[in-house]
Chains A and B, each alone.
Chain A
């Protein structure tokens, strides 16, 4: 049996490693994505003060600490039986959408951009952020840097720090905003909407109007007919901060819609001895292995999954773009993983529109941004949509608010099984009779990038390349062939 190792692929909690095995005919027998690290938050958070969780769990991920900070704050609302006042809730959602817009921007331009803007078949040396800049011009590059910079500046202004905010509390947030700050947030938000519109136009001009690109996007190698998960509001419109978790089937039917507190009735996790990261699946369907289809409990939680699981977007411009996406590609649901990039831009537009909606809300500068809990703390669950998937925090405390149990299902973790499957499928599509196609490395990269896996702060990388190396071994361990890019 031959083995192909791809190592490193950078991080989730640590970095990832892929092993692809070839059978005697030289075709792909199996592929394994291994996550070689565990930090054990669920264990060492026990014994801590519950109110420390927004700060402790932010350290799960320095790329999306805001997501953990918010899920933790919401879990604390539930633990302490307290509802933030409208201003507190709106401030949190405003903060959260600023974060979302910043995060999605970076992903599209630094990571996905090289594939689509420069082109999937362009020489590797050009397929990086510098290639993107060369294609779209320095003005756009400056815009991207400005979006990132402004987003982080506003996050610090509201939450205290650019990375690892210190702001969320049970019942609200530690400080509100004044009119001067609100105006700054609104001004930056209006620029952000224009930037999001520009990004969608760019995607249309460069990808949709190019039949070669469109064929790759809609090609079979990236199709996975799995269930889709995303949070929705009362009208089944996508919402990142609050709502019910909705799961739809590979054919688009509603499988479940539940309060996040009920997540254990719907989600279970599988343990494999070869990875430190568990594999979540839909409990009512069951674990059938690394396969897709209606009978497999594997689900995806990505921007495209959120669009599939929702009936539309709650803001006008984003909703129009949402409809256009489905009309262009032949209706719902879309199971082509690479369309995730388009969906991410639809979400970018939504998050900027929501940002301005909330920044211009008359209550946003209110002084009632938190209430003190009065009831005895017990147990609670908090969910948000992290950029990379539904994020769940579940805490149980004693009567003093000291944690006795903690369970976390992190954004990218939802996609652990689908990412494994995408890697396998990309490999199967390209490796035949022991011949590894030169295109494999980029095709595997593209399968990964669609998920924006937090394997990569690669997400926020500067030049946006994922170093990959594929080594083909013979059964005795000798090297037959070595392919590398960006190495």
Chain B
């Protein structure tokens, strides 16, 4: 890839599913080129390297850190701070690090609500828990003390935790885009700091479906309609997020007759994906009557948070549901 001396690369996962790592491995044999260009100092899923060794490194001695996952526990927060300090370039890698992704929907609840649901006696499969046992940061067992990281009320994105240099969107980023980003890093052809490593068009621009004028009288849930395979899904009344979502995937989901669910987030200049999506939809609803518009939305989109902020709640202007003190 380059004749330059080997750089140092770290890859880390926080509150994520591992899909970003799998997508990275899906660059197939090109992963060997990565190993040629970089010493991989940390990659829990694929290579050696211990946190303790990272702690001992000089600040700024890692050339690039690809950080996936959001921040929900004290341990993840520590790792974000550590890797920021040690890395020259920190990339928010994938939807979780960029905007919280699906785990960010956890910001509709608090730790107590999550624990109540998961561990409480009377949950579907916890039959007896009379002492109301919950995981604790510290537990005394007969042999000693066991520790768990603290679980926070709110999931934060990477740049709400530490300064981020670049963003690579997608849940997960497609392997082709990961490769492009790696090449840009190795060749030193990076855009200005703070940029998203991607194009600035929408999924609609990449979608091959036929579009005419959008006039919607009714939104359909995906189970209510078998859509035509050639026509724009939004025109058929299906809530397709392509209209507000950054391109780069090649409009993969519409190719299998499923709507875009917005995993690449918004384009540059948009601070709130959900607001952008809602304003885009407002312009295609075929009515001038505010009451009728409200009814069309109420009938067809019963879960606005899950529909408009599926991937971006943690990064939205509201960030989370207001906590009610009890």
Q: Which residues of B contact A62 (CB under 8 A)?
A: 16-23, 172
A234 to chain B, nearest CB (A): 27
B258 near A43: Cβ-Cβ < 8 Å: no
Q: Which residue of A lies closest to B306 (CB)?
A: A48
Q: Which residues of B contact A467 (CB under 8 A)?
A: 44, 48-50
Q: Is the C-beta of B57 less than 8 angstroms from some C-beta in chain A?
A: no
Q: Is the C-beta of A255 less than 8 angstroms from some C-beta in chain B?
A: no
Which of the listed residues B113, B114, B174 has the most CB atoms from chain A within 10 Å of its own CB?
B114
A372 near B25: Cβ-Cβ < 8 Å: no
| Distance, CA A271 to CA B126, complexed state (A) | 8
| Distance, CA A280 to CA B23, complexed state (A) | 31
B130 to chain A, nearest CB (A): 11
A409 to chain B, nearest CB (A): 7
B151 near A276: Cβ-Cβ < 8 Å: yes
Q: Which residues of A contact B127 (CB under 8 A)?
A: 268, 283
B256 near A163: Cβ-Cβ < 8 Å: no
B22 near A63: Cβ-Cβ < 8 Å: yes
Q: Is the C-beta of A29 less than 8 angstroms from some C-beta in chain B?
A: yes
B253 near A160: Cβ-Cβ < 8 Å: yes
B114 near A169: Cβ-Cβ < 8 Å: no
Q: Is the C-beta of A30 less than 8 angstroms from some C-beta in chain B?
A: yes
Q: Which residue of B lies closest to A485 (CB)?
A: B48
A419 to chain B, nearest CB (A): 16
Q: Which residues of A contact B22 (CB under 8 A)?
A: 62-63, 163, 457, 460
A37 near B49: Cβ-Cβ < 8 Å: no
- A contacts with B, residue count (CB < 8 A): 97
| Distance, CA A413 to CA B222, complexed state (A) | 31
| Distance, CA A347 to CA B10, complexed state (A) | 35
| Distance, CA A463 to CA B50, complexed state (A) | 16
A462 near B47: Cβ-Cβ < 8 Å: yes
Q: A3: which of B13, B109, B144 is its contact (CB, 8 Å)?
A: B144
A434 to chain B, nearest CB (A): 15
A174-B257, A462-B25 as given contacts; A372 in contact with B44, CB under 8 Å: no
Q: Which residue of B lies closest to A158 (CB)?
A: B256
B221 near A49: Cβ-Cβ < 8 Å: yes
| Distance, CA A32 to CA B136, complexed state (A) | 15
B148 near A276: Cβ-Cβ < 8 Å: yes
B308 to chain A, nearest CB (A): 12
| Distance, CA A15 to CA B129, complexed state (A) | 26
Q: Is the C-beta of B229 less than 8 angstroms from some C-beta in chain A?
A: yes
Q: A43: which of B106, B135, B143 is its contact (CB, 8 Å)?
A: B106
Q: Is the C-beta of A433 less than 8 angstroms from some C-beta in chain B?
A: no
Q: Which residues of B contact A372 (CB under 8 A)?
A: 223-226
Q: Which residues of A contact B302 (CB under 8 A)?
A: 49, 400, 402
Within residues 288 to 317 of chain B, which ones have a CB less than 8 A from any CB in chain A? 302-303, 305-307, 310
A35 to chain B, nearest CB (A): 9
Q: Is the C-beta of A209 less than 8 angstroms from some C-beta in chain B?
A: no
Q: Which residues of B contact A65 (CB under 8 A)?
A: 17, 19
| Distance, CA A148 to CA B125, complexed state (A) | 36
Q: Is the C-beta of B117 less than 8 angstroms from some C-beta in chain A?
A: yes
A38-B151, A62-B22 as given contacts; A49 in contact with B306, CB under 8 Å: yes
B91 to chain A, nearest CB (A): 18
Which of the listed residues A3, A36, A40 has the most CB atoms from chain B within 10 Å of its own CB?
A40
Q: Is the C-beta of A104 less than 8 angstroms from some C-beta in chain B?
A: no
Q: Which residues of B contact A463 (CB under 8 A)?
A: 46-47
A44-B108, A59-B19, A487-B48 as given contacts; A160 in contact with B75, CB under 8 Å: no
A285 to chain B, nearest CB (A): 13
Q: Which residues of A contact B175 (CB under 8 A)?
A: 162
Q: Is the C-beta of A171 less than 8 angstroms from some C-beta in chain B?
A: yes
Interface pick from A50-58, A188-196, A245-253: A50-58
B46 near A461: Cβ-Cβ < 8 Å: yes
Q: Which residues of A contact B257 (CB under 8 A)?
A: 174-175
Q: Mark B11-35, 1 if CB is under 8 A from A, else 0.
A: 0010111111111011011010000
Q: Is the C-beta of B146 less than 8 angstroms from some C-beta in chain A?
A: yes
A30-B143, A486-B48 as given contacts; A273 in contact with B106, CB under 8 Å: no
| Distance, CA A38 to CA B135, complexed state (A) | 10
A411 to chain B, nearest CB (A): 14
Q: Which residues of B contact A45 (CB under 8 A)?
A: 105
Q: Which residues of B contact A1 (CB under 8 A)?
A: 143-144
B223 near A274: Cβ-Cβ < 8 Å: no
Q: Is the C-beta of A261 less than 8 angstroms from some C-beta in chain B?
A: no
Q: Which residue of A lies closest to B126 (CB)?
A: A269
Q: Which residues of A contact B134 (CB under 8 A)?
A: 271, 273
A160 near B255: Cβ-Cβ < 8 Å: yes
Q: Is the C-beta of A186 less than 8 angstroms from some C-beta in chain B?
A: no
Q: Which residue of B lies closest to A40 (CB)?
A: B114
B19 near A43: Cβ-Cβ < 8 Å: no
Q: Which residues of A contact B31 (CB under 8 A)?
A: 462
Q: Which residues of A contact B270 (CB under 8 A)?
A: none
Q: Which residue of A lies closest to B307 (CB)?
A: A49
A15-B44, A47-B306, A457-B45 as given contacts; A32 in contact with B141, CB under 8 Å: yes
| Distance, CA A212 to CA B98, complexed state (A) | 50
A40-B109, A163-B22 as given contacts; A145 in contact with B303, CB under 8 Å: no
| Distance, CA A401 to CA B223, complexed state (A) | 10
| Distance, CA A30 to CA B253, complexed state (A) | 49
B45 near A456: Cβ-Cβ < 8 Å: yes
B125 near A39: Cβ-Cβ < 8 Å: no
| Distance, CA A8 to CA B12, complexed state (A) | 12
Within residues 146 to 202 of chain A, which ones have a CB less than 8 A from any CB in chain B? 148-149, 152, 156, 158-164, 166-167, 169-171, 174-175
Q: Which residues of B contact A267 (CB under 8 A)?
A: 125
Q: Is the C-beta of B261 less than 8 angstroms from some C-beta in chain A?
A: yes
A62-B21, A62-B172, A274-B136 as given contacts; A37 in contact with B15, CB under 8 Å: yes
A38-B135, A467-B49 as given contacts; A61 in contact with B18, CB under 8 Å: yes
Q: Is the C-beta of A240 less than 8 angstroms from some C-beta in chain B?
A: no
Besides A11-B13, A11-B45, 17 more A-B contacts (Cβ < 8 Å) are A10-B45, A11-B44, A14-B73, A29-B142, A32-B146, A37-B72, A40-B103, A40-B117, A46-B117, A55-B261, A63-B22, A166-B261, A174-B258, A269-B125, A394-B124, A402-B302, A407-B125
Which 9 pairs across A and B sit closest by C-beta, in order of nearness?
A: A62-B19, A21-B143, A407-B124, A40-B114, A62-B17, A62-B18, A160-B256, A457-B18, A457-B45
6 A-B contact pairs sorted by A residue (CB < 8 Å) = A32-B146, A39-B103, A44-B105, A47-B306, A62-B23, A271-B133
